[in-house]
């Protein structure tokens, strides 16, 4: 134990002496020791820089993989939660609304198409009925006009026949009157001729009979 204490004391003394000597030497040569210290610091900095360069990109550092995996799991979980609870429901709602709107538009278009077809069918039926009524009216009008024409023609023909009968009657009367006057003139003429020729006396009755037989 005594030798160990002695050795320890000697060592401490030597260290103290060395430290004092070093300090004294450092103070004595302060100006001369600055340059080597700066050089050593620069060398240490370069060594540290080279050491950092050899470490590589931090995410590729295998010592940080566990923490990176933890944060990756947390980020993926948050992303999955946001996608499943916020984004995807909104997208699904938007798609459903769009699908419902498209279905509604298609139904409305189908309804309008049906109404259009019904309107076209009704228009065609009305047009056919109007054409039929027009044909009926034209036919009725033609029949009425034809009946009117026939009636007027019959009336005109009846009038003409009546006038022709009256004319024939008048002509017969004129003819009969003229013939009667001719007979009288012939009778008078014959009587005058007989008297002038001295053929004797002849009655008018005999002369009229003779003229009638001659006119035969």
Q: Are 212 and 204 in contact (CB under 8 A)?
A: no
Does residue 28 form part of some domain? Answer: no
Does residue 81 form part of some domain? Answer: no
- Greater pLDDT, 203 or 97: 97
Predicted confidence at residue 188, as pLDDT, reads 77
Does residue 202 form part of some domain? Answer: yes
Percent of the chain surpassing pLDDT 90: 37
Domain range for 200 is: 162-215
What are 121-138's pLDDT values in tens digits?
A: 999 999 999 999 999 999
Does residue 198 form part of some domain? Answer: yes
Domain count, the chain: 1
Does residue 89 form part of some domain? Answer: no
Predicted confidence at residue 187, as pLDDT, reads 75
- Greater pLDDT, 31 or 171: 171
**Residue 24 reports pLDDT greater than 70:** no
Q: Give rounded-to-5 percent helix, strand, coil for the chain.
A: 95, 0, 5
Does residue 95 form part of some domain? Answer: no
Q: Is-above-0.75 flag for pTM? A: no
Does residue 204 form part of some domain? Answer: yes
Does residue 3 form part of some domain? Answer: no
């Amino acid at each position: 134990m005594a030798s160990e204490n002695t050795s320890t004391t000697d060592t401490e003394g030597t260290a103290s002496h060395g430290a004092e000597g070093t300090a004294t030497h450092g103070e004595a040569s302060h100006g001369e020791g600055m340059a080597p210290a700066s050089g050593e610091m620069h060398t240490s900095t370069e060594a540290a820089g080279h050491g950092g360069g050899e470490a590589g990109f931090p995410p590729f550092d295998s010592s940080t993989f566990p923490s990176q995996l933890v944060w990756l799991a947390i980020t993926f979980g948050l992303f999955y939660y946001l996608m499943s609870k916020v984004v995807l429901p909104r997208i699904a709602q938007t798609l459903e609304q769009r699908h419902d709107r498209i279905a509604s538009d298609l139904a409305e278009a189908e309804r309008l198409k049906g109404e259009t077809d019904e309107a076209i069918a009704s228009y065609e039926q009305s047009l056919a009925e109007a054409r039929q009524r027009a044909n009926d009216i034209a036919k009725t009008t033609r029949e009425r006009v034809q009946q009117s024409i026939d009636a007027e023609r019959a009336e005109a023909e009846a009038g003409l026949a009546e006038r022709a009968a009256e004319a024939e009657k008048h002509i017969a009367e004129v003819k009969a009157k003229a013939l009667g006057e001719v007979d009288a003139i012939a009778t008078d003429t014959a009587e005058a001729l007989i008297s002038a020729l001295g053929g004797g006396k002849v009655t008018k009755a005999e002369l009229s009979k003779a003229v009638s037989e001659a006119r035969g």
